[in-house]
Structure 1
Amino acid sequence: MARSRRMNDLLGLVHGNLLIGLSYGWWVAKHNRHRANPNHEGRDPDISSGAIACTTDHALARRGRPARALARFQAYLFFPMLLLEGHLNAVGAPLRPQADAG
């Protein structure tokens, strides 16, 4: 949006962290991992086996009535789940050990 990275980071912090309560740092790291490996199972964090079933195998592996219902109706629940995922991951991110960058 802005010409400088510093201003973009500031805008991201203000809008992400302060206005909507979503960790800008968490989002940037997740977005960069996704862009580096789009739709590669095991490397793209957006298609990992989680609340949203991104493959038929993920959906079929669900056990229990709530998990199967969630997979069945996930198209309708996608945006509310996406909002909750960002907030829950941002809250838990400081508690998880960080992988080495090198």
Structure 2
Amino acid sequence: MDPDVVEAAICMPGRGFHRNRAQQPLHVKRRDLLPVVRIWSALVHANILPCSHVSDLHWTWSMLMYCIMTQRTVDLGGIICMEISGCANSAPGSALGHPSLIT
């Protein structure tokens, strides 16, 4: 996916990704996102892919926001399944990351 296309869909005009030396996108600051993307990001962080670090969006999260903003089909069940699997296979004592695991 072209980072410039993703930037145009989720970032405020004139704002964009912080990039590495090879100009690959790393993350975008939350303040640089369109207001509607900030709302979607908060919803996703709280209910689908919990994360304690919410001041910016990494490239993979940005792709999800791009899909939402451009009304593309997203396999939400697959995303949640991978998240829960990652929690289940993590080291003992690590944070419990997904709200569906709390009963």
TM-score > 0.5, shorter chain as reference: no
Higher normalized helix content (fraction of residues):
1
**Relative contact order, CA 8 A, sep 6+: which one is greater?**
2
CA radius of gyration, larger in: 1
Higher normalized strand content (fraction of residues):
2
Q: TM-score, normalised by structure 1?
A: 0.30
